[in-house]
């Protein structure tokens, strides 16, 4: 049985964008779509009555939100199987539990009731930082959301954090029949450039060559498994988060890996993932590496 794409919905503009993106993704990968509304309204308004007209207002709102989201998804892709659920739990906790039985979790960049000035809502951040399945936060400009660039961007990290992200990126590029841009950033230690006794340009060239060798190692198996994918490999000097945020303007999806440490219950996001989730100009996929 194929695991579904799970989308957190709350009626906000951000969640509607997430529904649109996710149903396109479900159609692309031939996956079922599961729309989930989560709230702890039961704790404040009492138990849900089995019948009658005195249903709590939050329950009525929840039913309307999931029904509208399901109708929106079905109109967009009638062939995608859509299911819905309303869960009495905090949104982040509910989505994290759903992630144990999901192909991926999809959220909007901000939810209902969150401040307009926030770059990323608290639910999206918590889910991306703790889930054990891929998490896609749907954000960015119109072109990035519409997928018109025909380009996937992968931030290549170290092998212990990026193996699953590489495989995810190749599957995504294959499903979209698009170019896969792979970027590895490198930086020479500051003291090397300041050493007058060092041979000219040798330290920087060495670090650039190491970055290229790492890309070769990281991509070798995936390129063998997906020979039709057009891969463009780039090594760039400077902070990785700067390079990826800049290049996200010409991408339909940016993908990064993150390491999950067993027994660690706090936020597990690196600087690169954090920067992309707040500033990327296209949807961001955070793929955990156990």
Q: Which of 52-66, 76-90, 208-222 has the lowest mean pLDDT?
A: 52-66
- Is the pLDDT at 191 greater than 60? The verdict is no
Rounded Cα distance, 5 and 106, in Å: 7
SS3 59: helix
Structure-block tokens of residue 184: 């590895």
Read off the pLDDT of residues 163-184 as tens digits, 9 standing for 90 and up.
999 999 999 999 999 999 999 9
Cβ atoms within 10 Å of 212's Cβ, excluding its own? 15
Question: Which residues pair with residue 22 across a beta bridge?
Answer: none
In this prediction, residue 197 has a pLDDT band, given cuts at 50, 70 and 90, of low
Q: pLDDT higher for 53 or 16?
A: 16
Q: Provide the pLDDT for residue 48.
A: 47
Q: What is the pLDDT of residues 200-255, one digit of tens each?
A: 545 667 888 888 999 999 999 999 999 999 999 999 999 999 999 999 999 999 99
Least confident of 74-83, 194-203, 253-262, 268-277: 194-203
Query: Per-residue pLDDT for 1 more than 70?
Result: no
51-83 in b/e form (b: 16+ CB < 10 A) is: eeeeebebbebbeebbeebbebbeeebeebebe
Using alpha carbons, select from 136, 150, 134, 58 the residue that is nearest to residue 102: 134
Sort residue 252 into left (φ over 0), alpha (ψ -120 to 50) or beta. Answer: alpha
Query: What end-to-end distance do the CA atoms of the chain give, in Å?
Result: 23
CA distance 223 to 134: 21
Q: 16 by DSSP, 3-state: which? A: helix
Q: Does 225 or 50 have the greater pLDDT score?
A: 225
Positive or negative, the CA dihedral 83, 85, 91, 94 is negative
> What are residue 269's phi and psi, to 5 degrees?
-130, 135
Share of the chain above pLDDT 90, in %: 61
């Amino acid at each position: 049985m194929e695991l579904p794409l799970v989308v957190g919905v709350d009626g906000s503009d951000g969640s509607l964008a997430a529904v649109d993106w996710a149903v396109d993704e479900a159609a692309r990968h031939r996956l079922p779509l599961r729309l989930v509304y989560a709230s702890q309204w039961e704790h404040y308004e009492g138990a849900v009555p089995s019948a009658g007209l005195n249903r709590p207002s939050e329950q009525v709102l929840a039913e309307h939100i999931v029904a509208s989201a399901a109708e929106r998804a079905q109109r967009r892709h009638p062939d995608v199987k859509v299911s819905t659920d309303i869960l009495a739990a905090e949104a982040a906790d509910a989505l994290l539990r759903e992630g144990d039985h999901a192909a991926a979790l999809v959220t909007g960049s901000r939810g209902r009731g969150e401040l307009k000035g926030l770059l990323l809502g608290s639910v999206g951040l918590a889910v991306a930082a703790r889930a054990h399945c891929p998490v896609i936060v749907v954000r960015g400009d119109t072109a990035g959301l519409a997928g018109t660039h025909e380009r996937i961007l992968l931030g290549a990290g170290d092998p212990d954090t990026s193996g699953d992200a590489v495989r995810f990126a190749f599957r995504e590029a294959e499903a979209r029949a698009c170019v896969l841009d792979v970027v590895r950033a490198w930086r020479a230690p500051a003291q090397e450039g300041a050493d007058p006794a060092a041979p000219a340009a040798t330290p920087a060239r060495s670090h650039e060559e190491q970055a290229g060798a790492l890309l070769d190692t990281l991509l070798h198996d995936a390129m063998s498994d997906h020979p039709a994918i057009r891969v463009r490999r780039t090594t760039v000097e400077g902070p990785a988060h700067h390079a990826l945020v800049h290049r996200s303007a010409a991408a339909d999806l940016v993908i990064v890996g993150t390491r999950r440490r067993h027994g660690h219950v706090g936020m597990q996001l690196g600087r690169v993932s954090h920067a992309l989730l707040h500033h990327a100009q296209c949807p961001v996929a955070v793929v955990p590496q156990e």
